A and B are shown apart, each in its own frame.
Chain A
């Protein structure tokens, strides 16, 4: 008489639940697919410059469209403190004239301290701007554009205009 060995607990569980697992593999893309496509479209720029467009800002002879990349509080960046991401698009006429765009909290002392450098195409570039510890909701963001001819032009944007979410976060941080 042959005695059949009973399957191990793991093999038994696998036999019993493999159907459910395969169903999960099919269901997961259906459940998470729309969020994934939405996120992909957002990163591709098909959903606009950012989650909240700030508007057209004149910077000397040029202009840019500025947006909050994500409609959220500044991100914690470990020992680097907090940072907030913004997106920018150069005006079509100034695409060939602007070499670089920088953004920071407070007036830069010089070009080396102009802040976060925007990177990407002229039509949609992003920068992760540092939020210094002493920043208050009444401070201003300074946007610096550097031309290929070496000229510098600057514009200021109150934090309350640039990002009400960030202003509220700063006020909350200031109270605590």
Chain B
């Protein structure tokens, strides 16, 4: 009896949850940059739903907006480059509204 009641509750819960499955949400981009060694920065990009970003552009830009490096994420959605001197930020740009900037102070 208890088992069947529990089963009924599970069915009802699944039914209720399925009512809201149609609501689709955006999946924001992310870009995590770390020092791979003393001179090399390694960045991993992607989207919150697990989508990779092979071939997507990553720019390294100084605070004065001069572009130091234009590169792309590799097949494994990572990219490595020599750390520039001074103040800069990295811009993962997958299109309007799908960009993610990482300040050099946020390199882990």
Contacts and interface: CB of A to CB of B under 8 A. Distances in A.
Contacts of B8: 20-21, 24
Contacts, number: 81
Interface stretch (A49-57, A77-85, A167-175): A77-85
B96 interface: yes
B2 interface: no
Contact of A78 (B48, B61, B101): B48
The binding surface of chain B is classed by DSSP as mixed
Interface in B78-103: 89, 91, 93, 96-101
A124 interface: no
A109 B48 contact: no
B96 A128 contact: no
* Residue of B11, B32, B48, B100 with highest tally of chain A CB at under 10 A: B48
A32 B15 contact: yes
Nearest to B93: A112
B96 A117 contact: yes
Interface in B23-44: 23, 25-30, 32
A80 B47 contact: yes
B34 to A, nearest CB: 13
Contacts of A127: 26, 97
The binding surface of chain A is classed by DSSP as mixed
Given A77-B48, A80-B48, A116 B12 contact: no
Contacts of A43: 23
Given A78-B48, A128-B25, A117 B16 contact: no
A113 B101 contact: yes
* Residue of B20, B28, B93 with highest tally of chain A CB at under 10 A: B28
B57 to A, nearest CB: 10
Contacts of B106: 133-134
A119 B97 CA distance: 9
B96 A113 contact: no
Interface in A99-150: 100, 102, 109-110, 112-119, 127-128, 130, 133-134
Given A35-B19, A77-B27, 9 more contacts: A21-B8, A78-B50, A79-B48, A80-B30, A102-B97, A109-B61, A113-B99, A119-B97, A128-B25
Interface of B: 4, 8, 11-12, 15-16, 19-20, 23, 25-30, 32, 46-48, 50, 61, 65, 89, 91, 93, 96-101, 106
